[in-house]
A and B are shown apart, each in its own frame.
Chain A
Amino acid sequence: MAKIATAVRNPAHSGKSVGGQGVALKVLEPASRLSLRARPDAVAALSKALGLTLPQKPKSSAAKAGRTALWLGPDEWLVIDEAGGDPVADCASVKGLHSAVDVSHRNVAIAVTGAHAAATISSGCPQDLSLTAFPVSAASRTILGKVEIVILRTGEDTFRVECWRSFSDYVWGFLSEAARDS
């Protein structure tokens, strides 16, 4: 008789956290993520379908009801849904030419919080993370050490760092070391 196999998904680094002086790291819960590419003529329809206005300004983001859209390029967005919705399905009804790819499990998100949060990320990220250059809700694709990351500033002292799953060991190790030094 055939055995019934049950697949159990073990998200990378799930539940990990590190607390230190002035900064805390925490691996965030899995979320739905959407890599969206679209020409300007489809943006309005996509915004309507997703229930938020896709940001048009460089280095900006828009959030509404647990869903955040990050501007990555002139025709590229990363949409993160933490409310259990399915942004890919929402885009399916849009007629305009676009590409919506589910990348939910490609990324691992790490929350960096505390007074030394910016200093911790700056230990490996060459971008200016001061509040004037990188205000709250600013978002950008950049690098940390030798890997590519996406940073979203969710508050004055809180950042969300998104990295590819296979790089998450490196990013977690890098940020943990940096948190100890900052």
Chain B
Amino acid sequence: MLLIRCPYCEEERPELEFRNAGEAHIARPTDIASISDEDFEKFFFIRSNPKGLVFERWRHVHGCARFFNAARDTVSDKFLLTYKAGEPKPDASTLHAEGGPAAWANRPPDQLNEKPKAKRSTKGEA
């Protein structure tokens, strides 16, 4: 089971307590009546769905019931960071730096023996 850190409960909780709530940082138009149909479609239906790092809203529905945001790697399912709703979107480059094994997933086979450039702790490794 995945453990997800809830920024409001300030600890890791089992994934069964959480629900995904779609893509994060989508700004609602200030005057929704005045925008064109194309802009509305873009805002309402179109989601980026990239492979790799995504910013998502999650809800700790069977816990504190609060919505929060998370940066997650869709390849490894690893949560890189969770933060409270309303906080600014973190810089994607700083998140990938701590990638570890997750960052290996998208590499072509001939590059798999290369160490990732990110700083990794050597403590505990043989």
Q: Is the A/B pair a real complex?
A: yes
Show the binding face of A for B, using Cβ within 8 Å: 58-59, 72-74, 76, 126-127, 140-143, 148
B96 within 8 A of A: no
Contact across chains for B10 and A127 when beta carbons are under 8 A apart? no
Q: Top 10 closest A-B pairs, CB basis?
A: A126-B14, A73-B64, A58-B9, A143-B62, A126-B16, A148-B62, A73-B65, A74-B8, A58-B10, A141-B63
Residue of A nearest to B6 (CB): A58
Give how many A-B residue pairs fall within 8 Å (CB-CB): 39
Given contacts A73-B64, A140-B63, A141-B65, contact A58 B11 (CB under 8 A): yes
Partner of B66 from the list A74, A126, A140 (CB cut-off 8 Å) is A74
Q: Which residues of B contact A74 (CB under 8 A)?
A: 8, 64, 66
Interface of A is mostly: strand
B17 touching A76, Cβ below 8 Å? no
CB-defined interface of B1-43 with A at 8 Å, one 1/0 digit per residue?
Answer: 1000000111101101100000000000000000000000000
Q: Which residues of A contact B63 (CB under 8 A)?
A: 73, 140-142
Contacts A126-B1, A126-B17 given; does A142 touch B62 at CB 8 Å: yes
Residues of B within 8 A of A127 (CB): 13-14, 17
Chain A neighbourhood of B17, CB < 8 A: 126-127, 142-143
Closest to B84 in A: A74
